[in-house]
Structure 1
Amino acid sequence: MDWILNPILLSALCSLSSCVLQPEFVLFKEKKTWREAQSFCRENCLDLATIEDLGDIETVLRSVEGQYDDAVWIGLMKGEQRWHWSITEKDFYKKGEREDFIWDIQEDTGFNCGAFNNGTLFVRECITTQRSICFDGGKQGRDQYVHVANARTWIAARDHCRQFYTDLTSVRNDAEYQIIREVAGDQQVWVGLFRDIWVWSDQTLSSFRYWKTGKAVYTPSDGNCGALMKSVSGRWGERLRAEKHPFLCKCGLTMMHLKMTISSQDAVLEENLPAMKNDLLIQIKKELAEKGVNVTELQWKSFVRATKQN
């Protein structure tokens, strides 16, 4: 990122992209229905917890460890059915690439997994066994796309790709459609497309799922909300929203500090520091807004380093 600031300050800053924003998850032990928990989180925090990746899972499991007996509500609920890609990282997709679907014939078969053949996508039953294309984020160019010849179900193919590569591949744009067509040849293959009915309370479009092992991509059931389940080591299960459980709220964002050292011997810097600091706050707030993070308060904290006395 380019900073439009006095050059003296540039060498003392980390770029905003290297300063990590993390959600703050808070467990409330009072048992409530899912709707009651949702209302409480919206009134007192941001919303029920949205869990977007394995990093969030690790944070959440640390925050609830040993503090619940059965289940903990999170912000997952049944809503409108839609298609997702198995790779969840936000920065992996440019605008519009999550929905760049080129279907052959999108029949309403009731099946919930996506396959690729001859440049187009197909809806297939998830228990069908066929070849797959994995994505390897550690490689570059065409080498990122790995044709796996062993026939597997969609879930088994996804788990194989996650174990040995990154995940089943997404198909994001025209260039990727062409590469995958060349890699797959005339074979129909699994890609990372799946459909389910789960949505997040705060309307985040995350496709991350952490269901108990062996759960189908989506099957109708009596449960209508998602919860962390102690019986399966914090993986998710479906529960009826009228049940009462502890719940997990997302209560804000914490940011790693931008750290800089100022020498009191630098008269030019000291003279211009207030204006430069104000400019920097404006720049940071703008960058955060572009990343979809609304900041209500942003301020400096100053610390004076003690000098060693001889």
Structure 2
Amino acid sequence: MSNLESKQHLESQLETILKWEKEQKDVFFWEKIGRIPFMLLDRLTPKIVRDKVGEALNEVGSFIQSGGKYLVSKKSVMKVLAETEARGIRGLKDSLEAEGVAGNEEEIDNEKGSPEGEVDEVLTLDEASKLPIDVMDTAADGITAKRVKFAAAQGAATGIGGIFTIAADIPLVLGQSLKVLQEMALCYGYDPYDPRERVFIVKCLQFSSADIVGKKAVLEELAAFDDEQNSDQVFSQLQGWREVVTSYTDSFGMKKLFQLIPIAGIVFGSISNKGTIGDVAETGKMLYKKRRINQRLRNME
């Protein structure tokens, strides 16, 4: 399948990703200022609430080691890829638009597809890794749209109580972020059940919330991720994984500022979560897509 893609097409796709990476390095000063409310919030929040957030962060640590409760179903994503290939890229896009990308988290984790496009065959991960990039992109976009819609609803629900429910919202968004990154990995033929890929996923999480210097550092680390001689260095840098997740939580900053207001937080919570999951999914898509394209270009050589 991938042999049908020309080198020129792959290089064009890679150029688009490199342009996106350059744009990601632009961080406005107000985004850093926006983190201040969370520093104050941490001091004002009751100890019992801080403890619950801490427990959630520890669960993310277990994700790196064993996947914990955050591992997603391979079969559901493989079925989405199979349906995308069977129905054609344009067919799936039209279907998603017609359905209004309806769905919730349960539908994403147990994807059944539409009656017209449902297929009995489920791809293996190896078969998925050989699909055309355009098919992978379309499947990734469809899954992202559903995750974003669910995150918006979740943000609205946890925004009802303002400052009293925002602490509960943070670990929920972290969990959604890990899940959508795993789905992006599967869309491009990488296995999140592999501990090595879970390291890559956490680095994607770090990239999505880092400042200019941080984004540059992560890109440099991931550039050598598939090089076995240098991959150990990336693993060792995750010794401080808790700092990675904490910085991700702090980066909500301005996005969550207005969610501190009860009732009004419904609107702002929805917008905030929608943007956060959208940004994380885009990061996963671009960085995993970059790895797949580079691998195919190396094979052509």
State the TM-score, normalizing by the size of structure 1: 0.24
* Greater per-residue strand proportion: 1
Larger CA Rg, structure 1 vs 2: 1
